[in-house]
A and B are shown apart, each in its own frame.
Chain A
Amino acid sequence: MAGHPDAFDRFVELYNAKVFRYSFTMCGQREDAEEVAQETLMKVFESLGQLRAPERLKPWVFRIAKNACLMKRRRSLFAPKRELSLDALKPSKSGDGEGARLEIADWSALPDDIASNGELKRALNRAVEQLPDIYKAVFLLRDVEELSTEDAAGVLGVSEDVVKTRLHRARLALRKSLDEHLRTAVEQVRER
């Protein structure tokens, strides 16, 4: 981080935005997310000297952010963890043998990016909001922040196998929500 004249400004701008968005998605409160981002940046500068592996900077920052988020949500820490069952995420099937068909939407008509479809973007945001926290955290770290399985496991203090299982269920749950959105959208078009 040090060495470049604008290193401080670039780092603060980048990680303030990243940590704020992560915390907002996890805590759901703008004020909490703002405080988490500021506390995280301060802790980073206060203890950066302890970081022995500079390539681990990003997971290290997110570990600090995750702990700060937990403190903000301390009242809900003892709430039971909601698990997603794999069976509930399987699509329904109609017919048997060669004629078996899945009851899912036609995904081929979808655009390849989310930005060009406002309705889909809103559906995705609602789906992420509805994910139980343990799955949401893994999804944000692995698919949005692109941390490795090993780094995400280190941030969350769980095993790599737990990260893989939770990521798979998070993705299946998001796929299912988007599928429901697509099917409703198609039905609405047909009814017009």
Chain B
Amino acid sequence: MNPRDCNTIFSMLSEYLDQTLPPAACEELESHIRDCAPCVEFVESLKKSVRLCREYKADIEAPALSPAVKRSLKEAYERMLSSREETAGRE
């Protein structure tokens, strides 16, 4: 195992997991980790961590909007729709 290679691999892992690494870099990484047990172990832990973290949700629910706020939003929405219709009519 070449420690410098492990360091290079370490900085590329998110792009590798997201499948956005350029093919040459991807090949280089895969060829390194084939023979590097610590890197395999680390990649697996990062992969699992990313999967779990994607489920993150703040521990709080959004409060329902008050009727007054909802009414103001609805008015703004309807203004937006009629101005869009006016623009479409002119075109």
| Residues of chain A whose beta carbon lies under 8 Å from any beta carbon of chain B | 2, 8, 12, 16-17, 20-21, 24-25, 30, 33-34, 37-38, 41-42, 45-46, 48-49, 86, 90-91, 93, 97-98, 100-102, 104-105, 107-108, 110, 112-115, 120, 124-125, 128, 139-140, 143-144, 146, 149, 164, 167-168, 171-172, 174-175, 178-179
Contacts and interface: CB of A to CB of B under 8 A. Distances in A.
Given A100-B1, A102-B42, A107-B48, A167 B14 contact: yes
A37 B63 CA distance: 10
B55 interface: yes
Given A42-B76, A45-B80, A93-B38, A107 B45 contact: yes
A49 B45 contact: no
B53 A90 contact: no
B54 to A, nearest CB: 5
Q: Is the interface of B mostly helix, strand, loop or mixed?
A: helix
B11 A149 contact: no
Interface string B62-73: 110100011011
Which 5 pairs of residues, A with B, have the shortest CB-CB distance?
Answer: A20-B62, A45-B76, A175-B49, A168-B14, A107-B45
Interface residues of B, number: 45
Contacts of A20: 60, 62-63
Interface of B: 1, 7, 10-11, 13-15, 20, 37-38, 41-42, 44-46, 48-63, 65, 69-70, 72-74, 76-77, 79-81, 83-84, 87
A102 B61 CA distance: 39
Contact of A124 (B53, B69, B80, B87): B53
A90 B13 CA distance: 12
